[in-house]
Copies of this chain bind each other. A is one copy, B any other.
Amino acid sequence: MALAQLLFAAVGLLTAAGQLVDLLVPAAKHDALLTAAKAMPQLTLSEEELQWVHVLSEGWASPLEGFMTEDQYLQSLHYEHLLVNGEFVPMPVPIVKACTAKEKDAIKGVPAIALVDSAGAIVATMENPEVFEHRQEERAGRTFGLTHPEHPYVNLIMQSGPWLVGGKLQVLKKIMYNDGLDSFRLSPVQLAAKFKELGADAVFAFQLRNPVHNGHALLMQDTATKLKEKGFKKPVLWLSPLGGWTKDDDVPLKTRMLQHEAIIKNKVFGDTPVVLAIFPSPMLYAGPREVQWHAYARLLGGATHYVVGRDPAGMKHPGTNEDIYHMWHGQKMLQAAPGLRKIELLPFTFATYDKKAQKMAFFDPKRKDDFVSISGSKMRQLARDGETPPVGFMDPEGWEILVKYYQSLDSGKTEL
């Protein structure tokens, strides 16, 4: 099946909305809108809200054309879908903008408002803003299945304003971060062009927010082989690190990107072409709800296949220190969602360290004593201690980048 057909099939999902949303104001209208925006009441975007503007502006959350109104919010919260002409369209996570009571009063009844970044620069305008109650505990409970205030995104919700404001956006310019990584922030349209340029007939997306070890690389190589066995001539790996807000103890985007660049350069994925591009969404740590968001956005971004592992978007419960979510519920929800039928799931086989072969390998129950698991926390501790992990665990240049990061943390420097 040619990519064009596959993309056409994916876009077929959006019949209700017509096409991929693009909220960027056309160049010819930019100056007039900016002038008008300067006279509008202003609301400031948090770091996370600015990232949602980015997500919305490029159509990753199509058919959504702005921050959710109350009807859209309730549909997402209750159904994990939007209703568009009576059809369920995936929309697993609420995409909302909070405000204070004072801000609410200031925008009451106005036809449009301006949204500004933390430096005061106008980013976008919102038409007919609708203000509604931000019932924070209910939002947390429904989104995460818990309300514990030390869950990082629940904490973000609880710290935000008691009102939400929704409405269609017009975005004045492409969102940039000036962190040296903007060239990796490709929109769905740019990605489609890239995949076409590479002659891809299958695009398998790998969502991640951690460094890539050789177990991941093995899985990606294995996936490419299997796709070729199925008849695809040119499978392309879309390495899609999440680039938005994450909790404090996650490895920062810049370090991860350096690590990803090093291992791609060192050919850990073999001959498979790799497109490394940042997914602009914030992280929610919402497990089986969020993995549907991750997959849906990648479907809109041009993926034909989606790699899914154990406990996607999961974390430890801040109260009990056990996994919040069941490790297979993420896969189950991806399988259940009718709106995700057009992306093929590639369940993630577990790779672990083979002491005998001195490499990451698929677990072989016949010689189970040869295998040892290297957990994320063990990996971080090794890097922090400046130690070398077992031979073959990770590309050495990639490992050095992690060591440098953790040692800069410990010495109080922030080089990376």
Contacts and interface: CB of A to CB of B under 8 A. Distances in A.
Contacts of A338: 83, 86-88
A311 interface: no
Contacts of A141: 140-142, 144-147
A133 B326 contact: yes
A74 interface: yes
A115 B145 CA distance: 30
A336 B74 contact: yes
Contacts of A74: 288, 329, 332-333, 336
Given A78-B288, A79-B81, A145-B142, A332 B135 contact: no
A145 B139 CA distance: 7
A370 interface: no
Contacts of A81: 79
A182 interface: no
A147 to B, nearest CB: 5
Interface string A325-337: 1100100110010
A83 B86 CA distance: 16
Interface string A122-134: 0000000000010
Contact of A79 (B79, B135, B146): B79
A171 B90 CA distance: 37
Contacts of A333: 74, 78
Nearest to A75: B336
Contacts of A78: 80, 288-289, 333, 336
B147 A138 contact: no
Contact of A138 (B79, B140, B146): B146
A31 interface: no
A395 B116 CA distance: 60
A70 interface: yes
Interface in A316-369: 324-326, 329, 332-333, 336, 338, 341
A410 interface: no
Interface of A: 70-71, 74-75, 78-81, 83, 86-88, 133, 135, 137-142, 144-147, 288-289, 324-326, 329, 332-333, 336, 338, 341
12 contacts: A71-B332, A71-B336, A74-B332, A75-B336, A78-B80, A79-B81, A83-B338, A87-B338, A135-B326, A138-B146, A142-B142, A146-B147
